[in-house]
Structure 1
Amino acid sequence: MRNAARWATTLGLTAAAVLAPLTGAAQAAPGTGPSALYAPSALVLTMGHGESAPSVTPERAVTLTCGPGASGTHPAASSACADLEGVSGNLDALSMRPGVFCTKQYDPVVVTVEGVWQGQRVSYERTFPNECVMNAHGSSVFAF
C-alpha cells in the first residue's frame, strides 16, 4: 500500500508539473510566444527516509519548472534551475558544496526526481547517508 501511495503521489505531481506550464500556452497560436522557444523542463522531486525508493513513503515532494522561467513549489526554484543548467540537467554531476561539513550519522534519505528536462524524460533516484549530505549536494536542487 505504501508503494501504491508513493506512485500515486509521484504521478500526480509529475502530471501537474508537466501540464501546468502548458495551460497558458493553449491560448496562443502554435509556435508563437516565449514558451515555443523552450523544450519543457518540469520535474517532481520527492524525499523520504529509508534505503531505497520502493520501500520509502515520500515525506516531502516539490515541483520544479525551468524554462522559460523558474517556478514550482521548490523553495529555491531559481537557484535550483541555475544549478541544473550548470550541469546540463545531469543530476549525477551535482557535487557537494565546498565548505559544508556533515556528521557521519547514518540515517538514509532517498531522493527521487521524475519528469522532463529540456524535452528528455528524467527518472533519477539517489540514497544519501543523511539529510545534511542531501542538502549539501547540488547546492539548492535537493534542499527542499
Structure 2
Amino acid sequence: MRNTARWAAILGLTATALGTPLAGQALAAPATPNSLYAPSVLVLTVGHGANADTATPQRAVTLNCAPAPSGTHPAAADACAELNIAKGDFSALPASGNVWCTKIWKPVVVTAQGVWQGKRVSYEHTFPNECMKNASQTRVFDF
C-alpha cells in the first residue's frame, strides 16, 4: 500500500507541476479527419481591357471558402457553393439563364489568383462586354 500511495503522490505532484491533469489527457477526444481542411483562398478581380496585363482594374475582392465562406466578396456563400459544384474549375461555372446582350466590344477581364483546396489557381478570361460577363459567370465574379 505504501508504494501505491507514493506513486499516486508522485503522479499528482508531476501533474500539478506540468499544469495539466493526467485524467484530462485520457479523456481528450481524438481529432477527427474532417477537422482539417485544405485552404481555399482567392483574390478575384474585374477590369476593363483585353487582358489582365493591360486592363484597368475596377474591383477586387477576397474569397475564402474553407473552413467557412468569408472575405470581402458580397455573396461569399453563393460564390463558394458554385465553385464547389464546379470543383474549382472556373471555366465549368454554370451559366446564367437566357440573357440578351449587345455585340458592343468593350472588353472586361476577370482573374482569380490564389489557392483552391490546397492547389494553386491562376485564371483569366476576357468577355466582350459587361453584359456577357454577367451572363456567363453567375455569382463568382458578381461584385
TM-score calculated relative to the size of structure 1: 0.72
In the alignment, the residues of structure 2 paired with residue 51 and residue 80 of structure 1 have an alpha-carbon distance, to the nearest angstrom, of: 24
Which residue of structure 1 lines up, in the alignment, with residue 141 of structure 2? Answer: 142
* Cα deviation code 1:83-107 (max 9, x no counterpart): 0001100001124212222222211
Which residue of structure 1 lines up, in the alignment, with residue 127 of structure 2? Answer: 128
In the alignment, the residues of structure 1 paired with residue 102 and residue 82 of structure 2 have an alpha-carbon distance, to the nearest angstrom, of: 24
Say if 1:32 and 1:42 are closer, same or farther in 2 by CA, change over 3 A.
Answer: farther
Say if 1:33 and 1:62 are closer, same or farther in 2 by CA, change over 3 A.
Answer: farther
Stretches of structure 2 that go unaligned for 5 or more consecutive residues are 1-29
Which residue of structure 2 lines up, in the alignment, with residue 58 of structure 1? Answer: 57
Q: State the Cα distance separating 1:37 from its structure 2 match.
A: 2.0
Contact 1:35 1:68 in 2 (8 A): no
Instruction: Name the SS of the counterpart of 2:103 in structure 1.
Output: coil
Report whether the alignment pairs 1:85 with 2:84: yes
* Cα deviation code 1:11-58 (max 9, x no counterpart): xxxxxxxxxxxxxxxxxxxx9699942100000001110111111131
Report whether the alignment pairs 1:75 with 2:74: yes
Question: After the TM superposition, which residues 86-105 of structure 1 pair with which residues of structure 2 at under 5 Å, given as runs?
Answer: 86-105=85-104
In the alignment, the residues of structure 1 paired with residue 137 and residue 52 of structure 2 have an alpha-carbon distance, to the nearest angstrom, of: 20
In the alignment, the residues of structure 2 paired with residue 69 and residue 43 of structure 1 have an alpha-carbon distance, to the nearest angstrom, of: 13
In the alignment, the residues of structure 2 paired with residue 34 and residue 62 of structure 1 have an alpha-carbon distance, to the nearest angstrom, of: 31
In the alignment, the residues of structure 2 paired with residue 86 and residue 137 of structure 1 have an alpha-carbon distance, to the nearest angstrom, of: 16
* Cα deviation code 1:50-83 (max 9, x no counterpart): 1111111311000001011111111111100000
Contact 1:94 1:138 in 2 (8 A): yes
In the alignment, the residues of structure 1 paired with residue 76 and residue 68 of structure 2 have an alpha-carbon distance, to the nearest angstrom, of: 9
Say if 1:93 and 1:34 are closer, same or farther in 2 by CA, change over 3 A.
Answer: same
Q: State the Cα distance separating 1:139 from its structure 2 match.
A: 1.3
Report whether the alignment pairs 1:45 with 2:26: no
Contact 1:96 1:133 in 2 (8 A): no
Which residue of structure 2 lines up, in the alignment, with residue 111 of structure 1? Answer: 110
